Amino acid sequence: MIEHNDQNNQLPKELKSVFRELEIVKHLRKASITKKFGFTTSYLFQLVFCLIFHHKSWFTLLNSKKGDRYPAKDSVYRFLNHSKFAWRRFLTYLSVHAIQKVEQLTDTKRPKVFIIDDSMFDRNRSKKVELFARCMDHSSLTKRFYKGFRMLTLGWSDGFTFMPLDFTLLSSKKAQINGISENIDKRSSGYKRRVEALESAPTVIPGMLERALQAGVSADYVLLDTWFTQQPLIQSIVELGLDVIGMVKATNQRYLVNNKKLSLKELYKVAAPVSGKKGIMRSIQITMANGVQVKVVFIQNRNKKSEWLAILSTDCTLSEQEIVRIYGMRWDIEVFFKTTKSLLRLQKEFQGMSYDLLISHTTIVFSRYIVLSWQNRCHNDQRILGGIFYELCDEVNELDWAVALQQLIELLEDALKKTNKTIQKIIKSQLQQWIDGLPNYIKAYLSISVCEV
């Protein structure tokens, strides 16, 4: 773990190189996440960042035998509860830096997309959490309600690597259980995010996209789920210069065909059949009620083949297959939600009543995902993110045995020097065969080869 008596050598080798490459400490300073005295914010950030890779919570770490080597509980909680830290700015700097590196490895002809979706941020056992509300889980078949927030997330993907760019923990004005704390400074970043939490998702989304574009992130399309593919939001996104591809559900929305307003079901009947394209049933190019030209593709529902699904695109030049293929990239954000909740302990690792703590810890979890995504892209192999997560855990936990293994090799080499040449040759040969048979990740720790002696 990271010890306070050596703040300049805090991270294991694998994580240290990524922190340096992604310039994480520099981004913390640029976002004004600094302190005038006490433990540095970079030290506290790295301490919280590494907890998950050690399979330890902050509580179990403080109660361990080495608990006196680390900051007191209040030091970390003051860091996480600070309302003036610009965590959104930090996440933007970090993700943009990582995306720029990824784009160097991506074909310029490959489409890049923004993906927007929301997910449950569950705090059912809480009573006094600031701003939490009664929310409906629209992904549940039973339409159950839960206490907490809706985590509205903006991400970027090139079809291979997903990077989270921005998020908002949305509360509700109508179903709000607790309000904004009266002690918060209204000039702070924390207060601005609290006010934003009371806005609706369609109101917040254009601002998220605009910030991403101003930061220098480029994308060809914005991918939306059925809950967000609504005409007012589509028009707002198109006005930003971006095209939208989203799944549409049968609602009261109307589409103009030959000066007639048709529902989605009526639109399916008048759409032209598409032959020779598996899974694609019909398509039609029409105008929405707000005047935006769109192309609607009807595809077969895999789960219920007697039904169809509709995908809308504001880029009418795309073929039906290309619209379906690009929309498939939206699955990246579902993998992201699953990974952060199952592996990276989103909403579980720290429990607090402050909205600032929720924002800061969620940002750190997103930073972990960015590190894993970058590592995955660098290795350019078939390992899933979960596999890389456990490999990083092994990297952190097995540093002690790695040092011991290196020392053992050095002891054997010293012993060989005291024997005659015949025995040296036999033992060296056997030892070299043993080293050659080791997995690559173990060989990486052995900086000295037996043949070099």
Q: What is the DSSP string of 261-320?
A: EE-HHHHHHHSEE--SSTTEEEEEEEEETTS-EEEEEEEE-SS-TTSEEEEEES-TTS-H
pLDDT band at 143 (very low <50, low <70, confident <90, very high): low
- Indicate whether 400 pLDDT > 60: no
Structure tokens at 380: 């350019």
CA 313 to chain centre: 25
pLDDT at 449: 46
Give the helix/strand (H/E) hosting 375.
helix 355-379
Give the helix/strand (H/E) hosting 149.
strand 145-157
- Indicate whether 75 pLDDT > 50: yes
pLDDT band at 420 (very low <50, low <70, confident <90, very high): confident
Averaged pLDDT, 407-431: 72
- Indicate whether 374 pLDDT > 80: yes
> Which is nearest to 329 in space by CA: 108, 91, 116, 105?
116
Averaged pLDDT, 181-203: 93
Contacts of 251 (CB under 8 A, 6+ apart): 264
pLDDT at 234: 95
Region for residue 253 given its phi and psi (left: phi exceeds 0; alpha: psi -120 to 50; beta: otherwise): beta
Q: Which of 213-222, 318-327, 418-427, 434-443 has the lowest mean pLDDT?
A: 434-443
pLDDT at 72: 84
What angle do the packed helices 231-239 and 201-214 form, to 10 degrees?
20
Structure tokens at 178: 């607790």
Q: Where are the beta strands (DSSP E) in 185-239?
A: 221-224
The span from the CA of 382 to the CA of 386, in Å, is: 11
- Indicate whether 453 pLDDT > 50: no
Averaged pLDDT, 41-56: 88
CA 45 to chain centre: 17
The span from the CA of 239 to the CA of 263, in Å, is: 25
pLDDT at 256: 87
> Which is nearest to 371 in space by CA: 2, 23, 125?
23
Contact (Cβ atoms closer than 8 angstroms) between residue 273 and residue 295: no
Contact (Cβ atoms closer than 8 angstroms) between residue 402 and residue 209: no
The span from the CA of 407 to the CA of 245, in Å, is: 58
> Which is nearest to 15 in space by CA: 359, 391, 348?
391
pLDDT at 404: 61
3-state DSSP call for residue 10?
Answer: coil
- The label of the residue with tokens 């199952």 reads 342
CB atoms within 10 A of CB 360: 25
Structure tokens at 382: 């078939």
Rounded to the nearest 5°, which phi and psi values hold at 223? -100, 130
Mean pLDDT of the chain: 85
Averaged pLDDT, 42-70: 84
pLDDT at 311: 96
pTM value is: 0.81
Contact (Cβ atoms closer than 8 angstroms) between residue 120 and residue 135: yes
- Indicate whether 235 pLDDT > 90: yes
- Condensed to tens digits (0 to 9), the pLDDT of residues 248-299 reads 988 888 888 888 889 899 999 999 998 878 889 999 999 888 889 999 999 9
Contact (Cβ atoms closer than 8 angstroms) between residue 324 and residue 313: no
pLDDT at 450: 44
Contact (Cβ atoms closer than 8 angstroms) between residue 219 and residue 112: yes
- Condensed to tens digits (0 to 9), the pLDDT of residues 10-39 reads 566 778 888 999 999 999 999 999 988 889
CA 36 to chain centre: 30
Averaged pLDDT, 100-122: 91
Give the helix/strand (H/E) hosting 147.
strand 145-157
Residues pairing with 156 in the sheet: 114, 163
Q: What angle do CA 309, 300, 117 make, to 5 degrees?
A: 40
Structure tokens at 186: 């209204």
pLDDT band at 230 (very low <50, low <70, confident <90, very high): very high
Amino acid at 431: L
For a pLDDT cut of 90, what percent of the chain falls above it?
Answer: 51
3-state DSSP call for residue 80?
Answer: helix
Q: Which of 4-13, 15-24, 425-434 has the lowest mean pLDDT?
A: 4-13
- Indicate whether 151 pLDDT > 70: yes
Rounded to the nearest 5°, which phi and psi values hold at 175? -105, 20
Contact (Cβ atoms closer than 8 angstroms) between residue 393 and residue 53: yes
- The label of the residue with tokens 């990271």 reads 2
pLDDT at 121: 92
pLDDT at 381: 46
- Indicate whether 378 pLDDT > 60: yes
Here the contacts of 291-297 (C-beta below 8 Å, separation 24 or greater) are 292/231, 292/234, 292/235, 292/238, 294/234, 294/255, 295/323, 296/248, 296/255, 296/267, 296/271, 297/323, 297/324
Maximum mean pLDDT: which of 248-252, 337-341, 387-391: 337-341
The span from the CA of 444 to the CA of 407, in Å, is: 14
